[in-house]
Amino acid sequence: EEPILKVENLKKYFPIRAGILSRVVNHVKAVDGISFSIYPGETFGLVGESGCGKSTTGLTVLNLHEATAGNIEYRGNVINEIDKEELRKLRKDMQIIFQDPFSSLNPKMMVGDAIGEPLEEHGITKGKETRDRVIEMLEVCGLEASHYYRYPHEFSGGQRQRIGIARSLALNPSFIVADEPISALDASIQAQIMTLLEELQEEFNFTYIFIAHDLTAVKYLCDRVAVMYLGHIVELAPTENLFKDPLHPYTQALISAIPVMDPLAKKEKILLEGDIPSPVNPPSGCRFHTRCRIAEDICTREIPQLEEKEDGHEVACHLVK
């Protein structure tokens, strides 16, 4: 099967400017050479601590940030190279769900109009048709037709996320980047939004990247997961394998930190010491070596490449045989 999205050696650097001439003095290497493919119908998790490059990856594959280097191929189109008009056509097929839907909604616009706006902009529907589509979207997203005439501030966080999801889905996209869609919500609301995403995927058949720092949500929703650390993917595996048999020391630490409900379950907690180093001057060799408890000499010298160790289970670590 052909991937819907194929990312090859993707880099996204942000320039740091200084001085009165505002010269570029350095770069934040937010994403520094990552490759992965996503297949139709998949839910693909991207996890890691804040600053690891997961959101930048999501925005860059949608071309909302311009890639610094590498290839992003969406259904055979190299989207970081095609012209504006082609990109505009693809735009409605590739949507984003934001972490904070409130900031992406115009406070002075009725939510119905906000949801309908992209439909009219892309010339998909007009007038009454748009209204009908919006009401349908409100209802499938667990809201009510009467909410059409209300304003964003009248809704709770969970409801606003439902509005954000309705707006992204109104265009019936095939591919969605959900950038930490539940991180800002209370635990009980998080579960509701996860269930909603599952139901909607069933109904609308989209493929999506689910970005999170919370491994619990990823375990529940995703088919495969890529773990990121300082701009690199350090491990990529089917979700079950990743949780049963994490190979990278960083993944092992993240998984060991998930609270266990069973008080009798014995689990060693691996503490991650220190902070994430700066993505401006990342550590040499393996970027995780400053925090890795089994690091050896080679780790400070050579960058480990992502290699397949078991079926579909890739890891970047010198010491995993």
Residues that bind ligand SF4 (CB under 6 A): 248-249, 286, 288-289, 292, 294-295, 299, 304, 317-319
CB of residue 233 to ligand SF4, shortest distance in Å: 13
Q: Which does 208 bind (CB under 5 to 8 A by kind): Mg ion, ligand SF4, none?
A: none
Q: Are 26 and 16 in contact (CB under 8 A)?
A: yes
- On the CB side of 114, CA atoms within 13 Å amount to 26
Question: How far apart are the C-alpha atoms of 291 and 294, rounded to whole Å?
Answer: 9
Rounded least distance, CB 251 to ligand SF4, Å: 9
Partner that binds at residue 292, options ligand SF4, Mg ion, none, CB closer than 5 to 8 Å by kind: ligand SF4
- Closer by beta carbon to Mg ion, 55 or else 239: 55
Which among ligand SF4, Mg ion, none contacts residue 68 (Cβ within 5 to 8 A by kind)? none
Q: Which does 299 bind (CB under 5 to 8 A by kind): Mg ion, ligand SF4, none?
A: ligand SF4
Q: Output 7 or 211, the one with its CB closest to Mg ion.
A: 211
Q: What are phi and psi of 290, to 5 degrees?
A: -70, -15
Query: Which partner in ligand SF4, Mg ion, none is near 304 (CB below 5 to 8 A by kind)?
Result: ligand SF4
Kindly tell me which of 55 and 68 has the beta carbon lying closer to Mg ion.
55
**Which of Mg ion, ligand SF4, none is residue 288 near (CB under 5 to 8 Å by kind)?**
ligand SF4
Choose among ligand SF4, Mg ion, none what residue 56 binds, the Cβ cut-off being 5 to 8 Å by kind: none
Residues near 22 by beta carbon (within 8 Å), at least 6 away in sequence: none
Instruction: State in angstroms the smallest separation of the CB of 241 from ligand SF4.
Output: 18
Name the β-bridge partners of 236. Answer: 226, 314
The CB-of-271 to ligand SF4 minimum distance in angstroms stands at 15
User: Closer CB to ligand SF4, residue 233 or residue 317?
Assistant: 317
Cα radius of gyration rounded to whole Å, the chain = 21
The least distance separating Mg ion from the CB of residue 210, rounded to whole angstroms, comes to 12
CB of 293 to ligand SF4, least distance (A): 8
Q: Give CA–CA dist 180/186, Å, rounded.
A: 13
Contacted entry of ligand SF4, Mg ion, none for residue 55, CB cut-off 5 to 8 Å set by kind: Mg ion
The two three-digit tokens of residue 254, written as one number: 């993240």
* Of residues 6 and 289, the one with the C-beta less far from ligand SF4: 289
Q: Is 297 helix (H, G, I), strand (E, B) or coil?
A: helix
* Those residues with Cβ within 8 angstroms of residue 171's Cβ, 6 or more apart along the chain or in another chain: 92, 93, 95, 118, 119, 122, 124
Q: Which residues bind Mg ion (CB under 5 A)?
A: 55
Q: Which residue is nearest to Mg ion (CB)?
A: 55
* Residue 102 beta carbon to Mg ion: minimum distance, rounded to whole angstroms: 16
Give 169 or 242: the residue with its C-beta nearer to ligand SF4. 242
Contact assessment for residue 37 and residue 16, using Cβ atoms and an 8 Å cutoff:
no
Bridge partners, 69 (sequence order): 11
Compare residues 210 and 288 and give the one whose CB is closer to ligand SF4. Answer: 288
The nearer residue to ligand SF4, 133 or 318, going by C-beta atoms, is 318
The C-alpha atoms of residue 169 and residue 200 are separated, in whole angstroms, by 9
Least Å from the CB of residue 32 to ligand SF4: 15
Q: Which residue has the tokens 């707006």?
A: 167
> In 3D, which of 110, 113, 208 has the Cα closest to residue 150?
110
Tell me the C-alpha distance between 61 and 207, whole Å.
Answer: 14
The residues near 168 (Cβ < 8 Å, ≥ 6 apart) are: 95, 96, 97, 176
Give the integer Cα–Cα distance in Å for 230 and 316. Answer: 13
